[in-house]
Amino acid sequence: MATNAKAFDKNNNKLLGVAGLGWLFDAMDVGMLSFILVALAADWGLTSEQVGWIGSVNSIGMAAGALLFGLMADRIGRKNVFIITLLLFSIGSGLSAFTGSLTVFLILRFLIGMGLGGELPVASTLVSESVPAEKRGKVVVLLESFWAGGWLLAALISYFVIPEYGWKAALLISVIPALYALYLRLKLPDSPRYERIKDVKKPSVWENLSGVWAAEYRKQTITLWVLWFCVVFSYYGMFLWLPSVMVLKGFTLIKSFQYVLIMTLAQLPGYFTAAWFIERLGRKFVLVTYLIGTAISAYFFGEAESLALLITSGIFLSFFNLGAWGALYAYTPEQYPTIIRGAGAGMAAAVGRIGGVLGPLLVGYLVAQKTSITSIFTIFCIAVLIGAAAVFFFGKETKNTELQEK
């Protein structure tokens, strides 16, 4: 029995490592985009509205990818979609390093977004279906923690590479390791739960889309959609603009990269504490607590005038926000049975990405209107509190519950 348990843990660790590597490189791309936006604005003479559109087109692609690939995951398997999405992301990211046109760059950001948006909910679904109930939340949050590693690498590459060699070199650096992750993924087994139902007659696309609105799932679907929208709207509105906000507050490009790097380090303890709490105190506790912490941090970050308060509130913003993200990815696949789990998680993520479209656009528009950073971050503070309230009042606790098969 002990040997079987060790083998099982070894397989879980391998799955976590392979899935996590892809997650890390996706995060590296999103993280670098936030730094590249500052360099692109200077390089191409972009307006704040155009900068906002780059972030938003990325999220439009993520919304389309989450919906399309979530549906595909229930029909052709989690592993196959896992490979397709990383391939799409890698090709788009590599090609974008060679463009000198904003239009072409936007098209490629859409394709990159599709790969990224499709991968994340499918990855969390695959991992959720492959580990036992008592470890599921912790393992999925640890999967999400690779996102912090990706952001950290993005901050390091941006700090050392972009000022010296330019943003195109930074993009090329991100593609090479992603292709290695793709190679590892080819040998990955599919979800055992999906394997058990893969020969069962699959619901049609319409049955999948309508299945998440069946009477027994309607309440959690509404809760998830509100939660995802609020979290993604605030995250992409705040974090894609973080280096730019630092510049707006009077810091140089180099200094803003340096300070964001310090804030990024706080993401790791945010994930690890969330992973520790999630199996002890439950999904709802972690989501509500960490979202309230995010809202308070966002408010003080917007208010900050001194460097000390700016960095401190930025550290807490990273800590709480990314811990909440880990719990969100653990919580979402647990709401649906295997037959519609990919569709349910993908549709919730797609609705969230609509928020990801609006967040950066809103910031770009408000900055152009000379709206204060304090007012902008207050909007995100309120959005996060709405998400926390949705989970607190309507969310279903899923700690230690077995996933439904059908």
pLDDT(295) > 60: yes
Q: State the total domains in the chain.
A: 1
pLDDT at 3: 44
Region at 400 (left for phi over 0; alpha for psi -120 to 50; beta for the rest): left
pLDDT(5) > 60: no
pLDDT confidence of 117, banded at 50, 70, 90? confident
What is the DSSP code string of 184-205? HHTTPPPPHHHHHHTTSPPPPH
Average pLDDT over residues 236-240: 78
Helices 338-368 and 102-128 pack at an angle, to 10 degrees, of 140
Nearest to 235 by CA among 360, 351, 106: 360
Higher pLDDT, 66 or 186: 66
Q: Rounded to an integer, what is the distance from CA 240 to the centroid of its chain?
A: 12
Span 348-357, pLDDT tens digits: 988 988 888 8
pLDDT at 291: 96
pLDDT confidence of 203, banded at 50, 70, 90? low
pLDDT at 139: 82
pLDDT(52) > 70: yes
Span 70-83, pLDDT tens digits: 888 888 888 888 88
Q: Does any domain span residue 26?
A: yes
State the DSSP code for 49.
Answer: H
Q: Does any domain span residue 204?
A: no
305: how many CB neighbours lie within 10 A of its CB? 9
Q: Does any domain span residue 205?
A: no
Span 317-354, pLDDT tens digits: 889 998 898 889 889 888 888 888 888 888 898 898 88
pLDDT(137) > 80: no
Higher pLDDT, 236 or 240: 236
Is the alpha carbon torsion for 392, 394, 395, 396 positive or negative?
positive
pLDDT at 293: 96
Higher pLDDT, 386 or 183: 386
Domain membership of residue 348 as a residue range: 12-186+214-394
The two structure tokens encoding residue 52: 């906002």
Give the chain's end-to-end CA distance (angstroms, integer): 29
- Rounded-to-integer distance, Cα 179 and Cα 90, Å: 7
pLDDT at 204: 72
Higher pLDDT, 245 or 27: 27
- Cβ–Cβ under 8 Å, residues 327 and 277: no
Q: What is the CATH number of the domain that holds 98?
A: 1.20.1250.20
Q: Does any domain span residue 94?
A: yes
Average pLDDT over residues 48-64: 81
pLDDT at 297: 93
Percent share of the chain, pLDDT over 90: 14
pLDDT at 394: 92
Taken as a whole, the chain contains a residue count of 406
Could you tell me where the beta strands, DSSP code E, fall in 273-377?
Answer: none
298's enclosing H/E stretch is: helix 283-303
Average pLDDT over residues 100-129: 85
pLDDT confidence of 9, banded at 50, 70, 90? low
The two structure tokens encoding residue 403: 């996933």
Q: Does any domain span residue 203?
A: no
pLDDT confidence of 251, banded at 50, 70, 90? low
pLDDT at 86: 80
Dihedrals phi, psi of 8, to nearest 5 degrees: -65, -45
Q: Does any domain span residue 120?
A: yes
Residue with tokens 């969310």: 395
What are the distances in angstroms from CA 227 to CA 28, 152, 270? 24, 26, 19
What is the DSSP code string of 50-98? HHHHHHHHHHHHHHHHHHHHHHHHHHH-HHHHHHHHHHHHHHHHHHHTT
pLDDT at 390: 95
- Rounded-to-integer distance, Cα 62 and Cα 171, Å: 19
- Rounded-to-integer distance, Cα 356 and Cα 336, Å: 24
pLDDT(97) > 80: yes
- Cβ–Cβ under 8 Å, residues 327 and 283: yes
What is the DSSP code string of 96-124? HTT---HHHHHHHHHHHHHHHHHHHHHHH
pLDDT confidence of 28, banded at 50, 70, 90? confident
The two structure tokens encoding residue 378: 């207050």
pLDDT confidence of 7, banded at 50, 70, 90? very low
Higher pLDDT, 201 or 225: 225
Q: Does any domain span residue 32?
A: yes
Q: Quick one: CA torsion of 200, 205, 210, 216, rounded to 10 degrees? A: 20
As a whole number, the mean pLDDT across the chain is 81
Q: Does any domain span residue 79?
A: yes
pLDDT confidence of 110, banded at 50, 70, 90? very high
